[in-house]
Amino acid sequence: DAGVTQSPTHLIKTRGQQVTLRCSPKSGHDTVSWYQQALGQGPQFIFQYYEEEERQRGNFPDRFSGHQFPNYSSELNVNALWLGDSALYLCASSLSGGGYYGYTFGSGTRLTVV
Amino acid sequence: DQQVKQNSPSLSVQEGRISILNCDYTNSMFDYFLWYKKYPAEGPTFLISISSIKDKNEDGRFTVFLNKSAKHLSLHIMPSQPGDSAVYFCAASVTNDYKLSFGAGTTVTVRA
């Protein structure tokens, strides 16, 4: 049973560029949450998607946007990249109604902005 | 604003001894607490949780204690094993909220 799959695993972008990160949830899960983990810090909640809608959003600027597809997979888009956006981006999937209960995390995408 | 704090960035313990990891929180609305374990190049995995209506929860070698009045929780690992070497994150949430607030993590090293 495949867990959460994130792609790519590593990415290097230049300041000002745009990036798209992808996440395929664990089989049977329909809710996807995105977290940003900066170096030396814990994961910070970006937003959660359920039924193709953003259900809740953390304290992140509008440069961070997302999408959920009918097959429950999700994308995280970041526009106008800053150096400070360099981080590990984690995707977590779960069952509807559970929010964070039963989160399964992916291994993350390491984004480096130069 | 860091609502969940893990003030010890690292902990070294001898195999077979007890590991005690601490976590403090500032938001009195938090009513559910979790611990996650993370190995390098892997995502965090759920370890154990506790609801605010309890003050202790055990699962095998892992025990979590909650002191609501002090806004403090701790994770005890006894006995510690080499495979326990990892980063441990404390996380908290509010009922009907969809997000977790994480601490910065504590790196545990178990020495043989």
* pLDDT value, residue A100: 64
Burial B67-101 (b: 16+ CB within 10 A, else e): eeeebebbbbbeebeeebbbbbbbbbbeeebbbbb
In 3D space, the residue among A11, A22, A49 whose CA is nearest the CA of residue A106 turns out to be A22
CATH number (2.60.40.10, 3.40.50.2300, 3.40.50.720, 3.40.50.970) of A5-113 reads: 2.60.40.10
- B22 sits in which H/E element: strand B19-25
- Which residue in A45, A56, A108 is closest to B43 by CB distance? A108
Q: What domains are defined for chain B? A: 4-107 (2.60.40.10)
**Which residues in chain A touch residue B98, judged by CB atoms under 8 angstroms apart?**
33, 48, 55-56, 99-100
Give the mean model confidence (pLDDT) for residues A47-65.
Answer: 95
Quote the percentage of chain B above a pLDDT of 70: 99
pLDDT band at residue B97, thresholds of 50, 70 and 90?
A: confident
C-alpha triplet A40, B52, B63: angle, nearest 5° = 65
Contact status, residue B48 vs residue B34, Cβ threshold 8 Å: yes
A109-113 and A10-13: which strand pairing?
A: parallel
How far apart are the C-alpha atoms of B67 and B60, rounded to whole Å? 21
Residue B5 has pLDDT above 70, yes or no: yes
Which of A8-12, A92-96, B3-7, B53-57 comes out lowest in average pLDDT? Answer: A92-96
**Which residues in chain A touch residue B36, judged by CB atoms under 8 angstroms apart?**
105
